[in-house]
Amino acid sequence: MSDITVINDSEQSSLVTNGLAKNGELYLKAAGSTDAGAIVVYDSGSWRTFANEAGLPSITNTYSVDFDGTNDYMDFGTNTFINSSSAFSVSAWFDVDNITTTYPTICTLKTNLTKGFVISLSSLQAGYNGVWFGSSHNELRGFSTGNSTLATLISSGWHHLVLTYDGVDPLVSSSFTVYVDGVNYAIGSSAVGLGNYASVNYVGKGAYQFEGLIDEFAFFNTELSSTDVTAIYNSGTPTDLSSYSPVGWWRMGDNDSGTGTTVTDQGSGGNDGTLTNGPTFSTTVPS
Amino acid sequence: MNNRQYVILNADEVSTVNFDEVLETSVDTLRYNVAGDQTFVKYEGAKPRSLYGKDTLSHSAMLTVLAGEAWTQPMEEL
């Protein structure tokens, strides 16, 4: 069996430009390049891409959504996403502009209880540092990683966040798990001050606004495993989530040509999002 | 977002805003201050006619205003 050459994006382009790409020859896309870990094959003038090393089909990711942090958000309706006695997971890529003077909110989700469920970031206050989330003292509770090292890590650049819940009251057992860039971060403290937002589903807004970029926001009605999270993180390059049957998967422009105010839901729920108060599509994406 | 300009309005001035000229989706999606007596709108390009005579703020200046306790409820101490 012959060796497979590892190539990055520019080398892939050069093969075509210089007439060196041969039909049927296999290449492995290098880490950090588009479709990292995928096998690409030159076939009669075009490239065909096959599953990456995590086994997930690669996707084309061209757009994210840019929030200005003042009053803009994506509204995806009023359906109830979270049932307190059922497992769920949330996955999102983010690049936050400002985590030092506010508590940027990734999302607010409607629950079957009286309070909305928020997922936010912070580097402002020790007890909230890193990722904090929940719905109230008496419902799904509120928790934080309380991790200043994590807060510093996420204060710049793209990062992948996954929050999972096993469907058991957090007071009964350890129910939530937080992953950032595929790493499981322990929950360090109980947080409060989550606000109400009882009947809405938003990306980029809760008690606080989000300033920066969010991409590939997804909701699952299952508790993703650490293996799942590692595969979805894919060393920093978003992958196809279809095999995890997301209830909601908003590609943040990739299904909508990066124009207009509708963000099509590629999940099973069909809860299309509406960009509200002026968020814009950006071509800056995680890779 | 550097090309955006922001204008703070009294709540009773909202009816004068032409929402075809600003980036806010509608009167129902405006953000108000904690007291509920002020809001703001934003625009790109030429200043909308309905905002003539109003002071404008840059994106960074608006974020500074919004970070104050007049616009944002303080987080509870842990």
Structure confidence by residue, pLDDT tens digits, B7-54: 999 999 999 999 999 999 999 999 999 999 999 999 999 999 999 999
Q: What is the mean pLDDT of residues A153-161?
A: 97
Chain A residues within an 8 Å CB radius of B34: none
Question: Are residues A178 and A224 in contact, defined by beta-carbon separation less than 8 angstroms?
Answer: no
| Predicted structure pTM score | 0.85
Report pLDDT for A31: 62
Report pLDDT for A6: 82
Write the residue in A70, A125, A190 that is nearest to B42 by C-beta. Answer: A70
Report pLDDT for A7: 84
Chain B residues within an 8 Å CB radius of A125: 75, 77-78
DSSP-derived secondary structure letter, B74: P
Q: SS3 for A210?
A: coil
Distance CA A194, CA A208 (A): 10
pLDDT band of B78, cuts 50, 70, 90? very low
Buried b (16+ CB within 10 A) or exposed e, A152-183: ebbeeebbbbbbbbbeeebeeeebbbbbbbbe
Structure confidence by residue, pLDDT tens digits, A81-123: 999 899 999 999 999 999 988 899 999 999 998 889 999 999 9
Distance CA A5, CA A42 (A): 13
Report pLDDT for A258: 96
Q: Is residue A57 predicted with pLDDT exceeding 80?
A: no
Q: Are the beta carbons of A208 and B25 separated by less than 8 Å?
A: no
Distance CA A129, CA A123 (A): 5
Structure confidence by residue, pLDDT tens digits, A236-262: 999 999 999 999 999 999 999 999 999
Size of interface A-B (CB pairs under 8 A): 62
Q: SS3 for B61?
A: helix
Longest Cα–Cα distance in chain B: 47
Share of chain B above pLDDT 90, in %: 87
The answer to whether A236 contacts chain B (CB < 8 Å) is no
Chain B residues within an 8 Å CB radius of A72: 23
pLDDT band of A192, cuts 50, 70, 90? low
Q: What is the mean pLDDT of residues A21-34?
A: 75
Q: Are the beta carbons of B1 and A126 separated by less than 8 Å?
A: no
pLDDT band of B75, cuts 50, 70, 90? confident
Report pLDDT for A1: 43
Share of chain A above pLDDT 70, in %: 91
Chain B residues within an 8 Å CB radius of A71: 24, 29-31, 40, 42
Q: Which of A265, A284, A283 is nearest to A274 (CA)?
A: A265
Distance CA B22, CA B48 (A): 7
Q: Is residue A207 predicted with pLDDT exceeding 70?
A: yes
